[in-house]
Chains A and B, each alone.
Chain A
């Protein structure tokens, strides 16, 4: 048995400090040759959402071989930082505020006007071949102050998704085409622990937040957010009607909706078969067909959103790739973006993840049209208005507006009261930006 005295004398504080220093020095010196010799690849850093939100190859499982081949051809290494969608805005805000280089390529959704000062204009970097294959309208949400700062990579509009079995059992032969039908069907379908409608009202701000859903109904009612002077004009009859529709649907809305923060939470309720209808992004189609996680495989229908007094309307997800101003490799970053938007990757994007391509040639591909039968619905939806009203203060505006909408949905305020308060608060926010 070892003497405790011998053990004690072999472990001393000085010895530990010396050992740690030697180990650290050894680690540092041994890493250098590997760092230089093993890889001369140019590193690109990408900030992306986590799947099932729209994510690129390397984060979502598609086009793995093509991606590996691209990395080899371009002598590049890509480090992904993939975060949950609700955390994206604050993460990039913190990174930009630090002033340091963190990422080369960043995903954006409605934040281009807000962060345009930190992004590289890439209008001239987009190849003519790619530009010709993209809808002109796709550049509207990534253009600010005359500069094009990004490329949208998925045709992402909100459309209606519904449980065909629920409607059939209730004797309803077609999805709702008008607001009155939406309310009536939602009421009829609410029974025995099942609800007619579900959504995520838990997060007021951003695209896919409470405010943006109200903006969808606002356009269906014939209203708009801002006048020509940039000040809010939504506190009018269409605005109130839009909010009143949401309030009228509340008795038939799954109760968890008010605390569902992300669309995935609401999607899970529809997939569990406990709600009948929702508006959702195109990825819903693939999600519902996943036998491991969905109880409604083969029972999902898709249609354009019900028409209000001014017809159907939607909002644009504005999912885009951008390049940061302090990226040391803007040309390589642009090549990576063009890879994400290449025809084959765009095709695999829809076939493997459900997120529709933005390239017109990919949308017209027969295999895509067969596999993603909701693509035709989204294209039909795109023939109606789908303004997202993005401005540099989009987050502050939607936070304020969305909070008032939440109060109305909870019965704390009437639709008129909530919109008046929202309009006053948004006017102050916009005036602060316009007047400095």
Chain B
């Protein structure tokens, strides 16, 4: 138990603790070293005054909400298709996994070229199809850039969530559907009264997991927009990076990071409660 505890302390508890301590300090470079001064709540007060933090928080919440809705919705559709007898061929699952297997930065670079205003394939295809007259600068306008980033993230996230939901679908006993058919239930009624209730826990897990991943998105912003134009695609994780490494304001960067940590911690607790097996029911209850 002790070795595991030591690893936990070194890899998890110490960095978190250090970050919390750092958020109460101001760090300055002097003579090639860093000097630490206690500023207590100054960094957290600055959080509430900083317009960039409110923009980043707003963008993060917007991105997370839409990303979760889109990813879980599309993934459920894909899982239903894969669970159909025509969708059970292994090739579909292999192809499905390709976006998920891409490294996040590679995914960002791929979409950077797809969405390029002058040379991107998206513009070329849409123009060929007659859907646009002139090339669109997909990353040149804040709200459009945010939606394009959503597209890139949903494309990458759907495979894993689809497989998660597929596992849930395959655990639904077939006799429930037979019974429903015998009772005259339509396909839609079967989906609503058999499939969805049985998938409640996997969907909840998918929502929480995707929320965590969406909220802390970084790679896409770093590669595609660097938070621009005009901070229009700025999100909390990227803001923490910018403050820490662009501005060398380690204390304030730690405060922003701890804000993200607090939100993630709450989501993680929800996740753990969802996956915790319940107490076995008594046979006589």
Q: In which size bucket is the chain B interface?
A: 20 to 34
C-alpha gap A114/B139 in the complex (Å): 31
A residues near B116, Cβ cutoff 8 Å: 256
Across the interface, do A258 and B33 meet the contact criterion of CB distance under 8 Å?
A: no
Q: Which residues of B contact A203 (CB under 8 A)?
A: 226, 228
Q: Is the CB of B118 within 8 A of A269?
A: yes
Once the chains are docked, how many angstroms separate the CA of A99 from the CA of B33?
7
The prevalent SS among residues of B at the interface is loop
For window 87-141 of B, CB contacts with A under 8 Å fall at 116-118, 135, 137, 139-141
In the complex, which residue of chain A has the Cβ closest to the Cβ of B55? A403
Contact B29 A118 (CB under 8 A): yes
Q: With A403-B228, A406-B228 known to touch, is A205 a contact of B246 (CB < 8 Å)?
A: yes
CB distance from B96 to the nearest CB of A (A): 31
CB distance from A30 to the nearest CB of B (A): 31
Q: Decide if B247 touches A396 in the complex (CB within 8 Å).
A: yes
A407 within 8 A of B: yes
CB proximity to B under 8 Å, residues A342-400: 393, 395-396, 399
Task: Tell me if B86 is interfacial: C-beta within 8 Å of chain A.
Answer: no
Residues of the A chain whose Cβ atoms lie less than 8 Å from the Cβ of B247: 393, 395-396, 399
Contacts of B219 in A (CB 8 A): none
Q: Which chain B residues border A393 with CB–CB below 8 Å?
A: 247
Q: 5 closest pairs, A vs B, by CB?
A: A256-B117, A407-B230, A406-B230, A259-B139, A396-B247
The reply to whether A202 and B229 form a contact with Cβ atoms under 8 Å apart is yes
- Residue B283 interfacial (CB < 8 Å): no
Q: Which residue of A lies closest to B249 (CB)?
A: A396
Residues in A whose Cβ lies below 8 Å from that of B141: 258, 410
CB-nearest residue of chain B relative to A114? B248
Bound form: Cα–Cα A261–B140 in Å:
11
CA distance A393 to B135 in the complex (A): 38
Name the distance in Å between B281's Cβ and chain A's nearest Cβ: 40
Pick the interface stretch among A5-13, A90-98, A234-242, A303-311. Answer: A90-98
Pair A117/B229 contact, Cβ less than 8 Å: no
Closest to A412 in B: B230
Q: A96-B29, A410-B141 are in contact. Are A90 and B245 (CB under 8 A)?
A: yes
Distance in Å: Cβ of B130 to nearest Cβ of chain A: 17
Q: Roughly how many angstroms separate A204 CA and B231 CA in the complex, as a whole number? A: 10
Q: In the complex, A224 Cα to B122 Cα: how many Å?
A: 43
Closest B residue to A255 by beta carbon equals B137
Instruction: Pick from A93, A272, A274: contact of B248, CB below 8 A.
Output: A93
Evaluate whether A396 and B246 lie within 8 angstroms (CB atoms) in the complex, with A96-B29, A99-B33, A117-B31 already known.
yes
CB A292 to nearest CB in B, in angstroms, measures: 17
Chain B residues within an 8 Å CB radius of A407: 230-231
Chain A proximity of B175: nearest CB distance (Å): 39
A-side contacts of B31, CB under 8 Å = 117
For residue B174, give the distance in angstroms from its CB to the closest CB of chain A: 36
CB–CB A259/B137 < 8 A: yes
In the complex, A93 Cα to B244 Cα: how many Å?
9
Interface membership of A326, Cβ < 8 A: yes
Q: How far is the CA of A115 from the CA of B246 in the complex (A)?
A: 12
Q: Does B242 make an interface contact (CB < 8 A)?
A: yes
Segment 123-177 of B: residues with Cβ below 8 Å from A = 135, 137, 139-142, 145
| Nearest CB in chain B: distance from A190 CB, A | 13
Q: How many angstroms from the CA of A120 to the CA of B23 in the assembled complex? A: 30
A400-420 near B? 1/0 per residue, CB < 8 Å: 000110110110100000000
Residue pair B229, A258 in contact (C-beta under 8 Å): yes
Residues in chain A near residue B3, CB distance under 8 A: none
Q: A256-B140, A412-B230 in contact; A399/B246 too (CB < 8 A)?
A: yes
Q: Tell whether, in the assembled complex, residue B245 and residue A117 are in contact, meaning their CB atoms are under 8 Å apart.
A: no
Residues on the B chain within 8 Å of A187, using CB: none
**A403 adjacent to B231 (CB under 8 Å):** yes
In the complex, are the beta carbons of B229 and A406 less than 8 A apart?
yes
User: Does A94 lie within 8 Å of B245, measured CB to CB?
Assistant: yes
Can you name the residue of chain B whose Cβ is closest to the Cβ of A119?
Answer: B32
